[in-house]
Amino acid sequence: MSWISRGLIALASLIMIGIYFQPLWKIRLYAPQYPDGLGMIIWVNKITGKNPHDLQNINLLNHYVGMKKIDPNSIPELKILPVVFGFMIFLGLLTAATGSKKLLYAWAVLIVLIGVASLVDFWWWEYDYGHNLNPHAPIKIPGMAYQPPMFGCKNLLNFRACAFPSSGTYLLAVSGTLGVLSAFIEFLRGRKKA
């Protein structure tokens, strides 16, 4: 492996550490009764409200339409993802230290698979919360689903729900891009030698 590739995969791994300190996604709800909005922040290992009581208020509102309570302790991804990304950081640094092309290609494939799987899982989580409703909810509107958007904004009854990636997701995108670029450089170098 070239020193450029080793440096890129090491940098990718070090940048990935930032996701433990930066949120991955932000969801905001706006309504006349909440002019400042309610915010939910998704981290690699927890879900918090933008303000101290936001998550509690979101759960209260969700109860009225039959949505499940958002309980961070019952979401297995919040326990799995920190381990997965910890492994990716370790694998990337090991790759940089050993110069192993096999490990580099494995890292690049894994980060793409993890990225796609994470987005699909997040969409499914939102789908389940918005469609799998309690039939005994106080407010029932036939045919209505409450799935928040994954990207952008959407009207849900008198609420405007907006969801966007946050700084942690951008760090992951940069990290993944650098790692895949490193693998691509090594792939091209190998073809030149052949």
Burial class (CB in 10 A: 0-12, 13-18, 19+), 8: buried
The stretch 50-55 carries a mean pLDDT of: 92
Lowest mean pLDDT among 82-96, 125-139, 174-188: 125-139
Task: Give the pLDDT confidence score for residue 66 in this predicted structure.
Answer: 85
Task: Give the pLDDT confidence score for residue 194 in this predicted structure.
Answer: 63
Q: What percent of the chain has pLDDT over 70?
A: 99
Specify whether the CB–CB gap between 24 and 123 falls below 8 A: no
Res 135 pLDDT > 90? no
CA distance 130 to 148: 7
Which of the pair, 169 or 191, is modelled with greater confidence?
A: 169
Which of the pair, 179 or 157, is modelled with greater confidence?
A: 179
Res 170 pLDDT > 80? yes
Res 144 pLDDT > 80? no
Give, in degrees to the nearest 5, the angle at Cα 92 between 95 and 87. 125
Task: Give the pLDDT confidence score for residue 99 in this predicted structure.
Answer: 95
The per-type count for the chain, helices as H runs and strands as E runs, is 5, 5
Tokens coding 15? 């940048």
Q: What is the pLDDT of the chain when averaged over all its residues?
A: 92
- The structural domains of the chain, ordered by start, are 3-184 (1.20.140)
